[in-house]
Chain A
Amino acid sequence: MASAAVEAPSTAPAEESEEHRTPPAARPERSWVRLVLLAVGAFAFLFPFYYMIIGSLQRDPEPGPGGAFPNPANITLDNYESINSSISLLRSLVNSGVFTGGVLLGTLVFGLLAGYALAVLEWRGRGAVFASLLLVQIIPFQLLMIPLYVMIVRSYGLADSYLGMIVPFAINSVAVLIFRQFFLALPRDLFEAARIDGASELQILWRIAIPLAKPAILTAVILTFIGPWNEFLWPFLVTKEADLQPLAVSLANYISNLAGRAANPFGAILAGACVLAAPAVAVFLAFQRHFISSDLGSGVKG
């Protein structure tokens, strides 16, 4: 992953000028401070997730310090059954999947076309479209919720439909930016040669640009995936029918309305939370090798 260049210590870790090329690993007292700092950070980030899994498996919640260590006698899968009987987990997961899949499809099809047009093709107004692409990054999406709600739910009658959920997210602008940056970095001669051979732009995109852009596509897929999978406010506004609610919405409704009725409300909530968190974490872990920080940096910085 992160390539040798990134691994190299760029903060010269030494005070003495003679020693400034010594890698930090060779200076134990320095790496100690770093490692302790990083380990404290990792604990703060990971402990709640560990506690989430433990909590989802406890028959009775154990909020004391001892509860952080699983007690075999208190382990059960009942919480998963309990949450599944209140909100259909499978149905909710399917809804989350359709919502996320629709956004991924739209972003990959139209986003790749847009990224290619912005990076490789020349046409009138390209500068203006690129400026708009940067501008929409700083428009807080949720501030548009009232007009979007009026348009999509009231005017077009797309309440309780997958389309209504997907449309506002259909093309992820950050992904377009990543595609553009990546295509921009490909050598121009590659495209020229293919054009001389008589390939159409669509063929060049499909046969040359996309196969080369796999790392960028993976990064964009992860980024795009977590957006709709985790999104709460918009699908919450659009779906009133429980049958169409993505898991984030049905779990949130459970937390705010129904949890009081369960025997172990926290256990049931945490079981639902594990089911909601698992796919996003799994996708990230599977692809994190490709998720290079510089991609993200260039994507965000433009």
Chain B
Amino acid sequence: MSAAAELNPKDHDQAGSPMTLTADRPATEDAKPAGRPVKVRARGESSKLASVLSHGTLILASLIALFPVLYIAYISLGPDDNDYLHPAKIMDKATFANYSRVLSDTDFLSWFGSSAIVAGGTTVIGVLIAASTGYAVSRMRFPGHRQLMWTLLVTQMFPIAVLIVPMYYILSNLQMLDSYTGLILVYSATTVPYCAWLLKGYFDTIPMEIDEAGRVDGLSPFGTFWRLILPLARPGLAVAAFYSFLTAWGEVAYASTFMLSSSKYTLAVGLSSFVSEHDHQWQLMAATSVLIAIPAAFVFYLVQRHLVTGLTAGAAKS
């Protein structure tokens, strides 16, 4: 079947084999003539074969991870509609014409602006309110905190099909249909539950003594949260921001239902309107996709250092 699926059993072999080698090693070493210095290997270091195998697996996995992204960038260089069917021929006629067409002949820049406003707003608002909720649940044992966390988990389960029609009515009653504010609030509602869980877990790893010290020095609970805890929680905040930004940047269904005027389309909506308009001009879609992916990759690069610590705290301490 797929290369990615076949990877699975192999990974286990290779994750296991280096350890076996490390464990077997002392026995072979004993058999060697005495006098030769016995090489002592620290834990985590590995033998040559094991390291070749694990590099091999990681390189293969990296290629699989990278390939679709490179592929679309490559296709975007082909000038004709059908080029994706004959990828090999693109090499000879590669051109950036698709990019200049997208940038000059379409509303790309206005879609880009809408997406930036909506994704930026969602990130700021979503992370702030998720952080204050996460902090309250992590530090204060108020009645209902358990139910609140449970409710947040349950909201993750709501399928879009139940929510989207009633949401439309509420937004239209609040006069927020076709407005950035409305869409930002809708996105915040979808990202906040996970962010609050994640940040609650991260706050749990910060010692209580820091809060107490802040309180003794005369800070209010808000002050402690804002001045002491938030700066310490940077990895958690970075991951929450990344998640919120990506969700808002790539969402299609809500945006295409709630944004009515074409001047306010976000990139995802603009891209889909583009298919019918140009009747399946895949090469233009490919170019647009690459342009859309660049800011997301940039945000990712900014936060990637924090991903491991930030994500795990949320999962470890639930």
Query: Are A and B co-members of a single complex?
Result: no
Binding site for A on B (CB under 8 A): none
